[in-house]
Amino acid sequence: MRFVLVTYGSRGDVEPMAGLAVRLRALGAEVRVCAPPDYADLLDDAGVPLTPLGWPIRALATGAIPGKEKAGLSDISAELTAMAYETVAEVAEGCAAVVATGSFPALAGTRNAAEKLGVPYVFTSFSPCYLPSAHHPPLRRPGQVIPPEVTDNRGLWDLHAENLETLFGETINTHRASIGLPPVSGVRDHVFTGHPFLAADPVLGPWQETPELDVRQTGAWIRPDTRPLPAGLEAFLAAGAKPVYVGFGSMLIRGANTQEVSRAVIEAVRAQGRRVLLGSGWADLALIDDADDCFAVGEVNQQALFGRVAAVVHHGGAGTTTTAARAGAPQVIVPQVADQPYWAGRVTELGIGTGHDGPTPTAESLSAALKIALAPETGARAAVVAETVRTDGAEQAAKLLLDMTGRSGSAG
């Protein structure tokens, strides 16, 4: 039995797919992942074949794609839809199912390919807040204006559907016509389907049942990471009290340059009497002096690291939030985009940390947030919640996929 896993997004979108791929292979399935070419090394380390999809994601995020510097959303969306379709169509014929997440235009192209090939398609969300429900509002897009008379969640989700229709409906249906498929109305529900997977931990990101969707929540898809920490980092950790880790992953911090953000976070941590561990990431955080209370690292094994720090300051991606929660590390989330405000809210509600007010930290604002995260009661609560976080989400999803496709031949 063969599965094709598809995502066009940052590391937070690719890492869970690698986790699912590893579990599917352990259960005897063949797996191929279609993802941005940036993550060839990650998937190679997981032992999973990669079919590159689209432009390098970091280059797209930073406006570094040659010839695309002035391209608008409609042009980028149309190309990405077509690229996802072509990539998936090349590798998915005859597979048991296509499992997809990530960028909406890429999802649309992936669903078109699955439909054209007659292959089951499974949409997956890593956060409950992306899925329509009367129990919570949708995320607001930048610049979106909400009519003052629309206040209930169902009305807000109707506007969300209309917004996606305006942004992507014509693009998606133009592509469908070009490959001989009929047009669809309601592109959001077409792409999300009525039976999505939710790969989020039930405690950290609970789903409330709703008649709108038949959601199958599996738990977060975690790939066990056994890599040792670098020798220099081990020496730094051993040289003093637990440091505060600050890193924003695949995020560019809005409203400030690298030097300003680096100085702000280091001063904030020092103000709490703590040592500083910087994760450089896409924000390119860097040391501001040669004091021995600071150390900078690149990409490391967060599963091994987060249990050895006093707190984790991060952007609020679903994967980083889950990893920190599993480790029992108090968190400060500095949300930038997408579902990150949701995770900041959940961390605050659970009492395992706090959300930072706004996307751009200053020394004063981050210091205030760190006082909450480093309080003894926050650490105690984080330790309690850590015991509840499930680690078998990828295994549950893999078994569910095998059961669904083996029993009925249809996953969507």
Query: Is residue 121 domain-resident?
Result: yes
Q: State the pLDDT at residue 408.
A: 41
Same domain, 368 and 301: yes
pLDDT in tens, 41-73: 999 999 999 999 999 998 888 888 888 767 777
Q: State the pLDDT at residue 410.
A: 43
Same domain, 401 and 258: no
- For residue 362, what are the β-bridge partners? none
Query: Is residue 243 domain-resident?
Result: yes
Contact 210, 131 (CB under 8 A): no
Same domain, 201 and 238: no
Same domain, 71 and 192: yes
Same domain, 126 and 11: yes
The yes-or-no verdict on residue 405 having pLDDT over 70 is yes
Q: State the pLDDT at residue 71.
A: 72
Same domain, 261 and 381: yes
Number of structural domains found in the chain: 2
CA pair distance 75, 79, nearest whole angstrom: 6
> Which pTM does this prediction carry?
0.93
Average pLDDT value for residue range 192-196: 97
Range of the domain at 255: 231-386
Q: State the pLDDT at residue 254.
A: 63
Domain CATH code at residue 284: 3.40.50.2000
Phi, psi of 103 (to 5 degrees): -55, 135
Same domain, 206 and 178: yes
Same domain, 311 and 190: no
Average pLDDT value for residue range 129-150: 88
CA pair distance 269, 280, nearest whole angstrom: 16
Same domain, 171 and 313: no
pLDDT in tens, 326-354: 999 999 999 998 899 999 999 999 999 99
Query: Is residue 226 domain-resident?
Result: no
Same domain, 193 and 276: no
